[in-house]
Amino acid sequence: MSQPKKRKLEPGVDGEGGEGAQEENGGEQETVLPRSRKTKKERDQQYYECYSDVSVHEEMIADRVRTDAYRLAILRNWSALRGKTVLDVGAGTGILSIFCAQAGARRVYAVEASAIWQQAREVVRLNGLEDRVQVLHGPVETVELPEQVDVIVSEWMGYGLLHESMLSSVLQARTKWLKEGGLLLPASADLFVAPISDQMLELRLGFWSQVKQNYGVDMSCLEGFATRCLMGRSEIVVESLSGEDILARPQRFAQLDLARAGLEQELEAGVGGRFRFSCYGSAPMHGFAIWFQVTFPGGDSEKPLVLSTSPFHPVTHWKQALLYLNEPVHVEQDTDISGEITLLPSQVDHRHLRIQLRYKVGDQEEKTKDFAMEEYLTVSA
């Protein structure tokens, strides 16, 4: 699940995001004033309230890549669902729960912590499934089920895969409610990274040098200011790229098996890995993009089904998570790019994603930069 985000590109202090972001000057730490502290209960309540608005659910269900993948994955696993019990973690408006009932599930427990649970109950009633789909209001960590379940389904993925930290809730539900040998939908996730040349960003950076040609006023001096505004911040930017923006062969840097013991502890400590790229050709490098894919078991006779958010695949509402350098770096064919990336929970709010990046481009010195996701944002109705 991912809430719609607005891209904020106003001028601001580097390091916005409250994480004490590192500058690209060899790792000097910048002091950032901390936000007001909220209790975990208050932060969780704020998170749940974001899903009480219809616009969030409209965007997710309208994402045909996402919704069709879940529907097909559930139907392909009909033999594992037929006559069985299912837990839907973060059920939202209930569409995945209904898919499970349509695939033959005997009982589906649709657990939803936000106020949208009331609309989910109406959707279940409208589809005549009250006898098989039970909507339960509350966090899955505290809701009590009358029995253990055979299957857990959840659309838990956030921007950059781990923003919102909903996977932890799924893992707790797995430990508490899933029968031994039970089915997880999806079953695994993979994270990818690649260096990028963002063509839209390049146009915006070059805009100020074109003003004189159009209006007779030289404003090229603003190009450096524009670079600081658009690239100098430490915000994780959520935008769609195309395959043409990718500068080298993408690399997988982390793989999460949802059935793996100890995965919760791994998420707390940070998941990531090292990378090394050789550039395709000459271009301005603006930073890195990360994206993910999740894999569903294929059922009795089908190969596994993959839901991908890659820029080489049809766009999804997750888009890609972009990590901009402070300024463009020119690369040539075979320029070597290496480093390490780590995704971990924010120290301010465990539901917010933080990314630590260490990298080296060609003969330049190694640099570091920390990134943080913005506060929860919703689309205005």
Catalytic residues: 155, 164
* Nearest to 188, CA basis, from 271, 127, 112: 271
d(CA 134, CA 143): 12
d(CA 318, CA 291): 9
* Nearest to 3, CA basis, from 41, 57, 42: 57
d(CA 51, CA 150): 27
Joined together, the tokens standing for residue 37 give 């502290």
Joined together, the tokens standing for residue 55 give 């616009």
Half-sphere exposure of 294 (CA within 13 A, CB side): 23
d(CA 362, CA 334): 9
d(CA 17, CA 346): 9
Report whether the peptide linkage leading into residue 311 is cis, meaning its omega lies within 30 degrees of zero.
Answer: no
CA dihedral sign of residues 236, 237, 238, 243: negative
Joined together, the tokens standing for residue 44 give 């969780």
Sequence-distant (≥ 6) Cβ neighbours of residue 324 within 8 angstroms: 198, 201, 230, 231, 233, 237, 286, 287
Strands 178-185 and 149-153: parallel
Strand order across the beta sheet in which 149-153 lies: 133-137, 107-112, 85-89, 149-153, 178-185
* Nearest to 114, CA basis, from 40, 51, 207: 51
Residue 365: count of CB within 10 angstroms of its CB: 9
Q: What are the φ/ψ torsions at residue 203 (nearest 5 degrees)?
A: -65, -40
CA 304, chain centre distance (Å): 21
